[in-house]
Structure 1
Amino acid sequence: MGFFSELNGRVVGGPSILAADFAHLADEVRRAQAGGAEVVHFDAMDNHFVPNLTVGPVVARSLVAAIDIPVDAHLMVENPDNLIPMFVEAGVASISVQPEAVTHLHRTLKMIKGGGVEAGVALNPTTPPEAIEWAVPYLDYVLVMSVDPGFGGQKFIEEMVEKVRRVRELYGLPVQVDGGITAETAPLMVEAGAQVLIAGSAVYKTGDPAGEMRRILEAGRAAHRG
């Protein structure tokens, strides 16, 4: 069992550390946790698959040891197979990879699940949901990117609402969304079938991570109930 397999229809959320203060990372996560965050999204970027360079397994290990909510790693990297064993050893709860960057997706997902963590795929905005049809038996969740990966603070791509709906209709897996998620866009994604709301800039650029995390979750859950 794991975080995604135990959602049971709930709408949950968490911060993306991409927008956090890296000098006080654990404290930044706790501030969002005070607003109801139940997971933390850990973006690893390599300056090859995306035009940015962030953090890796060493930082993940430190963060896992310092907080008490699961760490969900999103590997926006070429050759993720090289890093998966190190992220597993670091103690993350789940790992998603970009199918656009993977040569043998079946092998990669089996590697993740073989390490005892949940496996996901992250779909770029123009990658069709149908591209992962034959990977579904090895997946625990799907991450729909609602911006182009690589940078925080980008504008929400409205067409991704329908993409979330399509993913849910096709596969019935938990859908995580990341990119431009705010109290205004969260309800749109939840109405389409998203369950895990990841927000970065919206949470950390306001000066009130707890308050903004709470607003996003309340807006999403209201849409879920409605």
Structure 2
Amino acid sequence: MRKEYDVRKIKLSPSVFAADLGELKNQIKELEESNVELLHVDVMDGHFVERMAFGADHIRALKSMTDIPLDVHLMIECPEVHIDSIAEAGADIITIHQESTARVLSCLHKIRNRGIRAGIVLSPGTPEETIKYLLDDVDMILLMSVNPGEGGQHFLNSTVEKIRNVRAMIGDRDIDLEVDGSIDHETIKPCYEAGANVFVSGGYLFKNIKENTEALRKAVR
């Protein structure tokens, strides 16, 4: 995957957390037909964030259902404990929160040493300057445009300036810049114009997969 992966390409990463699990196979088929580039999988532990969702067994099941690369977002405390099981389950990308461990660099190296793309995530309240020392050790930077693991939130407009700042920090490095939280046909455009190229969309996209996937793509053409 690493040889074929293009960090310059605009990518949609639908969040499986918003899927109808009773219709998951059918919805994944629709995502495949819509040519989405990634499938976003949130792993939540009920500690780092309030909710609980998905784990290695679920990732393994998803991997058996689709060839769409799995973009796994660890919203968990001490991710270093779970990296091996998540990697073995079939993750293609693993992102960890800057706020979740004191061993960030070690975690990123552990992920990359398995031949998997590694990324760092910033919650809204975490300044972008905190990841400057990691820029040569990541393949993806994920900026949260809502507070992670909480429902019913609106897109934080301050994220746009943060995207712009991080894109400038990235420079000519081969790093994807992803944004996650209340992404729809209106919020995607300012994020794209600020420099993001990977977009996680959940509730909006799964309301009508084919129509809303096209609406997202149209907004950034």
* 1:1-226 paired onto structure 2 within 5 Å: 2=2, 6-172=5-171, 173-204=175-206, 206=207, 208-220=208-220, 222=221
Amino acid at match of 1:78: E
| In structure 1, distance between residues paired with 2:26 and 2:82 | 26
Amino acid at match of 1:187: K
Moved more, 20-29 or 137-146: 20-29
State whether residues 182 and 202 of structure 1, in contact with CA within 8 Å, keep that contact through their aligned partners in structure 2.
yes
Moved more, 25-34 or 140-149: 25-34
Gaps of 5+ in 2: none
Q: What whole-Å deviation, never above 9, does each CA across 1:132-152 have from its counterpart, x for those lacking one?
A: 111111100100110000035
| In structure 1, distance between residues paired with 2:140 and 2:164 | 14
| SS of corresponding position for 2:167 | helix
1:34 shift after superposition: 2.6
State whether residues 203 and 213 of structure 1, in contact with CA within 8 Å, keep that contact through their aligned partners in structure 2.
yes
Amino acid at match of 2:211: G
| SS of corresponding position for 1:6 | coil
TM-score, length of structure 1 as denominator length? 0.92
State whether residues 7 and 176 of structure 2, in contact with CA within 8 Å, keep that contact through their aligned partners in structure 1.
no
State whether residues 181 and 200 of structure 2, in contact with CA within 8 Å, keep that contact through their aligned partners in structure 1.
yes
1:92 shift after superposition: 1.0
| In structure 1, distance between residues paired with 2:28 and 2:158 | 30
1:40 shift after superposition: 0.3
State whether residues 49 and 77 of structure 1, in contact with CA within 8 Å, keep that contact through their aligned partners in structure 2.
yes
| SS of corresponding position for 2:31 | helix
Name the structure where helix makes up a greater proportion of residues. 1
Identity level (%): 34
State whether residues 17 and 42 of structure 1, in contact with CA within 8 Å, keep that contact through their aligned partners in structure 2.
yes
Amino acid at match of 2:198: V
1:153 shift after superposition: 4.6
Cα distance change, pair 210–200 in 1 and its aligned pair in 2 (3 A): same
TM-score, length of structure 2 as denominator length? 0.94
State whether residues 13 and 71 of structure 2, in contact with CA within 8 Å, keep that contact through their aligned partners in structure 1.
no
Moved more, 23-32 or 152-161: 23-32
